[in-house]
Structure 1
Amino acid sequence: MTSTSFRTDVAIIGAGPVGLFAIFECGMLGMASHVIDVLDVAGGQCTALYPEKPIYDIPGFPQILGGELIDRLQTQAALFHPVYHLGQQVIELKRLPTDRWFLGTSAGVGIDAAVVILAAGVGSFGPNRPPLAHIQHFEQQPAGSGVQYLVRRRDDYRDRRVVIAGGGDSAVDWAVSLAEIAASVAVVHRRDKFRAAPDSVQKLRRLAAAGTIELVVPFQLAGLEGEGKQLTGVVVRDLDGQTRTLAADVLLPFFGLSQDLGPIARWGLNLYRNHVAIDPSTCSAGSAGVFAIGDIASYPGKLKLILTGFAEAATAAHAAHPVVHPGEALHFEYSTTKGVPAAS
């Protein structure tokens, strides 16, 4: 049952970078947006997982932090006065007799929209926790101590003894970054081969050769030690069953995310391996007026990059225009010609 109702042109599910850019693209075509996200802040994974991690493949920015990218996208989107519904999940999506769409959220909000743009990334997500006894005892500690699954502020780890577990991009990139400020950094991985970008792995190995980082390979996590809720050591085990303890103030296990489409899986969309199959020429998700963009969208040759999602946001907005404004001609214009509204 809804307690608050809204009517809008476009409902965007997901306030990550692609969802935020969709606000701008829709606004440029005269369409107003309401945005819903299960997180209590905008930004998706950029905010939740790597706000202080540099991103290198955003056009025009040789390097930009995840959090800064979100700030800039929100400033750009603010020109069109979007309405955000954060900290709530869309639990109902149904077609109305008017050929519009109704979205109901977990907070009792109802939204009547002509078009739905699904920019939900990987759906709801959370960390894959290592199977260690009493690990929850060391969770929910202040940043820079205990067991943490993401780094929000790099400086929280200054002068801390850091143990990182994993062999992917997050593990390698944060090991390289935190080595500059931490008291010590040890990287635990089950083998001596890492799955991160080659350049990042080269940096990791150079720091290891210099003694700045300790590579603990081939080892796996075996246990945790502490005093009260204060973590003091991480126990690791090699392939022969031999154990050793690494002094630690904080453990950062980077074993990827558990992903859950949640209610999205029940909406009758073109699902394929936990993604929504779309027509890349329109980003249509198989139901009239429903589009999917960003990481959740799938088609042959799709590249999972933020810049790909940005292009899909523009495609979806143009395809949505005749649904929102039937019979109204859309004359393509570059932003350099059309301009943008004055900030207010």
Structure 2
Amino acid sequence: MSSENSHSTDVVIIGAGPVGLFAVFECGMLKMRTHVVDALDMVGGQCAALYPEKPIYDIPAHPAIDGADLIDKLAEQAAPFNPTYHLGQQVTTLTRTDAGWRVGTDKGTIIDAKAVIIAAGVGAFGPNKPPLDGLEAYEGTGIFYLVKRRQDFAGKRIVIAGGGDSAVDWANSLSEVAAHVMVVHRRPKFRAAPESVSRLDALVKEGKVEMVVPYQLSGLEGTDGKLTGVRVADLDDNEKVLDADVLLPFFGLAMNLGPIADWGLDMEKGHILVDQRTLATSAPGIFAIGDIAHYPGKLKLILCGFSEAAMAAHAAHGLVHPDHVLHFEYSTSKGLPGA
């Protein structure tokens, strides 16, 4: 093992999504050095990879902020603490040592640390695809599972399928640039934030969005990779064709914990069980925050993940600086270390 691939730090953070990035800041405020590992080749996690232009409405002090902008701000906030990023590599091994833990990746990187914070979201992810014949022929040309640039869909006839936050939020957003937006769902109720659903209802009344309910996808029409229509069927199998240039199926993500499932941590239904007070896992010195962590009353919100990052950092401080008693101070009075 070359020295270039071997590192030593205070805390390894697994996952460079919004919660992992904020954990860098919280650790830095407590004078703990961090290395961050993420399987993606960029920071930001799902925010950057799946919905960089999707507005997020529940970040304090931001009535609305796009995913990419949120990541930029979090990375800027973390930057003064000089985190070392190991991107495009997956953590494969987590081994106990006398001094703490040794983290190994599939690229041969080895990092020794006194504590580990797992902020891996829900592991590796990919879209749940609808079971439609000929789907692959239109992927990337007429069928997309995420929206990276809203402007790419300007002037298009768009069919959005799904009943969750992604379907509702993108129907609201794309209605501003598309020629026509149709939302296909098997029932009139949506599993989305009430305010977003209210906004969608208003757009429907204004004629800017068309509801296709209760229907579900049944087929595709087009030639040479060019989508011209989407077939939908009601509960009695009566079909009709929606003229469309684009289909956006939002049926959630297929999750894969990957190596995390083999690390010997107490799990429940694909999530890591933690102590709600400290975010500590069943393995001393390992903490879990964000969507992958579970405890009674858990809310899967980014803002809750931010709070968990602060709590985990404070809990890890005793392992990194055992001889230093931590007296909590507000950032307004403490300022940035070295500032």
Query: Which TM-score applies when normalising by structure 2?
Result: 0.95
> Which runs of structure 2 are paired with 1:46-125 in the superposition (5 Å)?
46-96=47-97, 98-125=98-125
Q: In 2, are the aligned partners of 1:231 and 1:248 still within 8 Å (CA)?
A: yes
How far does the alpha carbon of each residue in 1:44-85 deviate from its partner, in whole angstroms, 9 at most, with x for none?
121122211222221222222211111000001000000111
Q: In 1, are the aligned partners of 2:233 and 2:239 still within 8 Å (CA)?
A: yes
Give 3-state SS (helix, strand or coil) of 1:146's partner: coil
Shift of 1:341: 4.4
Amino acid at match of 1:51: P
| Residue 255 of structure 2 is aligned to residue 259 of structure 1 | yes
Partner Cα distance (2:94, 2:136) in 1:
35
State the partner residue of 2:168: 172
Quickly say closer, same or farther: Cα 1:336–1:198, change in 2 above 3 A.
closer
Partner Cα distance (1:150, 1:178) in 2:
12
State the partner residue of 2:133: 133
State the partner residue of 1:296: 292
Partner Cα distance (2:324, 2:204) in 1:
62
Q: Which runs of 4+ in 1 moved over 4 A?
A: none
State the partner residue of 1:336: 332
Shift of 1:332: 2.1
State the partner residue of 1:268: 264
Partner Cα distance (2:112, 2:6) in 1:
8
Give 3-state SS (helix, strand or coil) of 2:136's partner: helix
Q: Using the TM superposition, name which of 325-334 and 216-225 deviates more.
A: 325-334
Amino acid at match of 1:129: K
State the partner residue of 2:13: 12
Partner Cα distance (2:65, 2:203) in 1:
23
Partner Cα distance (2:114, 2:148) in 1:
37
Shift of 1:146: 1.3
Shift of 1:210: 2.9
State the partner residue of 1:285: 281
Partner Cα distance (2:242, 2:189) in 1:
21
Partner Cα distance (1:285, 1:310) in 2:
18
Amino acid at match of 1:42: V
Amino acid at match of 2:120: A
Amino acid at match of 1:222: S
> 151, 159, 162: which one pairs with 1:163?
159
Structure 2: gaps (5+ residues): none
Identity of aligned residues (%): 63
Give 3-state SS (helix, strand or coil) of 2:282's partner: coil
| Residue 321 of structure 2 is aligned to residue 325 of structure 1 | yes
Q: In 2, are the aligned partners of 1:276 and 1:292 still within 8 Å (CA)?
A: yes
Q: Using the TM superposition, name which of 46-55 and 259-268 deviates more.
A: 46-55
Amino acid at match of 1:160: K
Give 3-state SS (helix, strand or coil) of 2:276's partner: coil
Matched residues, number: 338
Shift of 1:329: 2.3
| Residue 187 of structure 2 is aligned to residue 191 of structure 1 | yes
Q: In 1, are the aligned partners of 2:158 and 2:246 still within 8 Å (CA)?
A: yes
Amino acid at match of 1:167: G
Q: In 1, are the aligned partners of 2:99 and 2:113 still within 8 Å (CA)?
A: no
Amino acid at match of 2:125: F
